[in-house]
Copies of this chain bind each other. A is one copy, B any other.
Amino acid sequence: MTPILAFAALMLASATSAFPFGFPDCVNGPLSNNTVCDTTADPLNRATALISLFTTEEKLNNTGSVSPGVARLGLPPYQWWQEALHGVALSPGVNFSTSGNYSYATSFPQPILLGATFDDALVNSVATIISIEARAFNNDGRAGLDFWTPNINPFKDPRWGRGQETPGEDPFHLSSYVRALIDGLQGGYAPKYKRIVATCKHWAGYDLETWNGNFRYQWDAPISTQDLVEYYAPPFQTCARDSNVGAFMCSYNAVNGRPTCADPYLLQTILREHWDWTNEQQWVVSDCDSIQNIYLPHGYAATRPQAVADALNAGTDLNCGTYYQTYLPAALEQGLINITTLDRALIRQYSSLIRLGYFDPPDVQPYRALNFGDVNTPQAQQLAYRAAVEGIALLKNDGTLPLSITPETSIAMIGDWANATTQMLGNYHGIPPYLHSPLWAAQQLNVTVNYAAGDSSPGNPTTNNNLHVYAAVNKSDIIIFASGIDNSVEAEDRDRHSIAWTGNQLDLIGQLAAYGKPMIVLQMGGGQLDSSPIANNPNVSALLWGGYPGQDGGLAIMDILTGKKAPAGRLPQTQYPADYNAQVPMTNMSLRPGLNNPGRTYKWYTGKPIFDFGYGLHYTNFSASINPLEATTFNISSLVTGCNERYMDRCPFHSLSVNVTNTGETTTSDYSALGFLTGSFGPRPYPKKSLVAYQRLFDISPGATATAVLNLTLGSLSRVDEMGNRILYPGDYAMMIDTQPLAMLNFTLVGEPAMLDQWPQPPPRVPQNNTGNYFVGGFDGTGQSVVYS
């Protein structure tokens, strides 16, 4: 009963409200003479001095996301849980005003659409604005200083409900994106004062919500070391090793038998040691209640105190929830943790706040001067609009687009996305200053608009209530059908069970196409749908994918449709045929094809995708050429000898200049040069190709040429072996520009393979404990039930 009694006392302490956010008084408060308030001391010493004042009870009480602080020391309570996925977002630590100032913040497109821009500079700008607005909120006491964003798990399976939160399926793309993002959020690699602390989540292997009775809280993901290094880890490696991110979040799931928040291999051996993520202010937070999950339902720890001890000892410094606060006392009493480990966790947290200026005079910190005048600026509005324009991908066009419209034109706006409001935001959103739907944007044109939502939303395919749709279409010249999926179908805790358009949607599209009028279909939502019935219908003029385009999404769409803007977004995910759903269970974590797995992502999928990763049309055509290298054969030993980086994959190989020419006659357009490497090198099987570099070029006029510079590193050329080692192999390489290659460059590596990175080997799989409870996994078609006990 001891834990239960202890729980009662601590719940009250931890329930303290954290609003409004305040700063400690380093001038007159009890801490004013403590080293923590000495701005000349280094952060580690400052944090250590602070924590040394805490009693053990005060230490234990400050291990949860709602930290009560220490009133007797003048240390205010602090709420660690803020969200800002694509703008300052609704979350426990963010307090939007009900009206007026701070009642809204800029709402950018979801990451899945930001990813589709293939424009890292844009991503950096977006992140900069988000963090500036976050600081403004903080200065008004309306938010903390750390934010639990980005979600950077690769979007491997199209059914994943949270794939929308990520930039897509490709690990290089995610890595490149996240480096730009974190630089923007934190205000540089190692600024004196961080703008905010970002949190790379969810380390590792989290890409399943609830699928066929498998729940994220109990799911034990079987991941080979090769897949981990090659696919699941790279964005996190970039966060930790290359971006100096302030925080990490461990995940709900287990990997190979160990809940990630209790796994010293993932949190210490890989994250902190192998990736050198050892600055004093870098902390790991659990996902919300995922420490509880170590006990239940994972059943990894036999008792609750053991669960919290396992997490703290593994390196989970902060608990989203109350489990640490509740059960660490018993863990300490039972000798399962020691004070040093507890201190380490607290020092990491408070060092982080020190790096954010929490204990420093406001007047020396430029971010402390930000206010609501820095929120929703015209520049921010314009950027949100531009981000949507840049991401939207044109998948089909028979020449109907861009639309020719006159004041006499009538447009039917059909579908459940036509008049979208918060749908456009996806999840983890804030409150935007406005929401401009496609319908709204059409109504700003000098045309007649006939709107009918139709009954095309996912669900019951038997609806037959579309009279008003036929009426609207009958009197219109042009049909714009906006539908797809939204968070009623894909969301947190909600994976999809189908990747087909629902029957009633296809039926209605088919009926409307039969009118023979110009008809544009907008496929909205994060995860891809099999749009082949639309692509193959000769009466559908055009198809665009619009993701979750944010506050100005409708305007971005209509400006592309009417030619005010030219589309140049690219699909950040493979669009699989609908039967992919039946071919592979979500629980199969392997990338390479095998039993019950036709292969995952464009690298390994053995079937024919409907639209390939990176696919996207323009209103013009482009040609490309790659400036030749001085040589076509390279000796591995020379490449390696010239490399003095600790992490050799970072060493440059060559920068390729890619000249891109707009061969059209009318339309100025952006173009994202995507560089894919293919060839025969390294361990079989070979991937079909791999993205290794990209650059978006802007505003290329008809006839004009622009040059993209694709920087290849030794890492770009490397492969990963079954032990997870990254190796440069001899073999034939080919660099291709674009999905249907516009240019190709061949070269050869010769010599002996060279190890660029030796991967620490995982410990053996843990035998399952027995907590007396048991939890049985779901149906995955193998007939094998995993009993978690």
Taking beta carbons and an 8 Å cutoff, which residues of A are in contact with B? Answer: 4, 7-8, 11, 210, 212-213, 215, 217-218, 288-290, 292-293, 296-297, 321-323, 326, 460-464, 467, 470, 493, 496-498, 500, 503-504, 506-507, 510-511, 530, 533, 578-579, 581-585, 596, 772-787
A464 near B321 with CB under 8 A, answer yes
Instruction: Tell me, in angstroms, the Cα distance from A533 to B774 when the chains sit together.
Output: 8
| A50 shortest CB reach to chain B, Å | 29
| A311 shortest CB reach to chain B, Å | 14
A578 near B497 with CB under 8 A, answer no
Nearest neighbor of A775 in chain B, beta-carbon distance: B503
Instruction: Tell me, in angstroms, the Cα distance from A778 to B583 when the chains sit together.
Output: 9
Assembly stoichiometry (copies): 2
Contacts A773-B533, A776-B498, A783-B781: A213 and B506 contacting too (C-beta < 8 A)?
Answer: no
Known pairs A506-B775, A582-B779, A596-B781 / 15 extra A-B pairs, C-beta < 8 Å = A4-B470, A8-B470, A11-B467, A210-B497, A213-B498, A217-B461, A296-B507, A500-B774, A510-B773, A579-B776, A579-B787, A581-B779, A585-B779, A596-B783, A781-B781
Instruction: Tell me, in angstroms, the Cα distance from A530 to B783 when the chains sit together.
Output: 18
Q: Which residues of B contact A467 (CB under 8 A)?
A: 7-8, 11
| A590 shortest CB reach to chain B, Å | 14
| A638 shortest CB reach to chain B, Å | 47
9 contacts between A and B (CB under 8 A): A212-B212, A213-B581, A213-B582, A296-B462, A297-B503, A533-B773, A581-B785, A582-B779, A582-B785
B776 near A582 with CB under 8 A, answer yes
Q: Which residues of B contact A321 (CB under 8 A)?
A: 462, 464
B782 near A781 with CB under 8 A, answer yes
A297 near B461 with CB under 8 A, answer yes
Instruction: Tell me, in angstroms, the Cα distance from A322 to B464 when the chains sit together.
Output: 8
Top 9 nearest A-B pairs by Cβ distance?
A: A781-B781, A289-B462, A579-B785, A582-B785, A297-B503, A213-B497, A578-B776, A213-B498, A500-B776
Nearest neighbor of A511 in chain B, beta-carbon distance: B4
B326 near A785 with CB under 8 A, answer no
Instruction: Tell me, in angstroms, the Cα distance from A780 to B772 when the chains sit together.
Output: 31
Contacts A322-B464, A785-B582, A787-B579: A503 and B776 contacting too (C-beta < 8 A)?
Answer: no
Q: Which residues of B contact A215 (CB under 8 A)?
A: 461
A462 near B7 with CB under 8 A, answer no
Nearest neighbor of A299 in chain B, beta-carbon distance: B503
Nearest neighbor of A500 in chain B, beta-carbon distance: B776
A497 near B778 with CB under 8 A, answer yes
Contacts A582-B784, A780-B781: A464 and B293 contacting too (C-beta < 8 A)?
Answer: no
Nearest neighbor of A530 in chain B, beta-carbon distance: B776
Q: Which residues of B contact A596 (CB under 8 A)?
A: 781, 783
Nearest neighbor of A326 in chain B, beta-carbon distance: B464
Q: Which residues of B contact A779 (CB under 8 A)?
A: 212, 497, 581-582, 585, 781
A582 near B780 with CB under 8 A, answer yes
Nearest neighbor of A776 in chain B, beta-carbon distance: B578
Nearest neighbor of A462 in chain B, beta-carbon distance: B289
Instruction: Tell me, in angstroms, the Cα distance from A779 to B786 when the chains sit together.
Output: 19
Contacts A461-B293, A510-B772: A582 and B218 contacting too (C-beta < 8 A)?
Answer: no
Instruction: Tell me, in angstroms, the Cα distance from A470 to B11 when the chains sit together.
Output: 14
A783 near B296 with CB under 8 A, answer no
Q: Which residues of B contact A289 (CB under 8 A)?
A: 460, 462-464
Instruction: Tell me, in angstroms, the Cα distance from A787 to B581 when the chains sit together.
Output: 12
Neighbour of A500 across the interface among B290, B323, B775, B782, CB < 8 A: B775
Instruction: Tell me, in angstroms, the Cα distance from A163 to B460 when the chains sit together.
Output: 20
Nearest neighbor of A536 in chain B, beta-carbon distance: B772
A583 near B217 with CB under 8 A, answer no
| A294 shortest CB reach to chain B, Å | 11
B776 near A581 with CB under 8 A, answer yes
Instruction: Tell me, in angstroms, the Cα distance from A321 to B288 when the chains sit together.
Output: 46
Nearest neighbor of A503 in chain B, beta-carbon distance: B297
Neighbour of A785 across the interface among B8, B462, B583, CB < 8 A: B583
| A767 shortest CB reach to chain B, Å | 19
| A321 shortest CB reach to chain B, Å | 7
| A481 shortest CB reach to chain B, Å | 15
Q: Which residues of B contact A210 (CB under 8 A)?
A: 497
Contacts A212-B212, A218-B461: A581 and B778 contacting too (C-beta < 8 A)?
Answer: yes
Nearest neighbor of A252 in chain B, beta-carbon distance: B462
Q: Which residues of B contact A504 (CB under 8 A)?
A: 296
Nearest neighbor of A507 in chain B, beta-carbon distance: B296
Q: Which residues of B contact A783 (CB under 8 A)?
A: 582-584, 596, 781
Nearest neighbor of A473 in chain B, beta-carbon distance: B4
Nearest neighbor of A217 in chain B, beta-carbon distance: B461
| A291 shortest CB reach to chain B, Å | 9
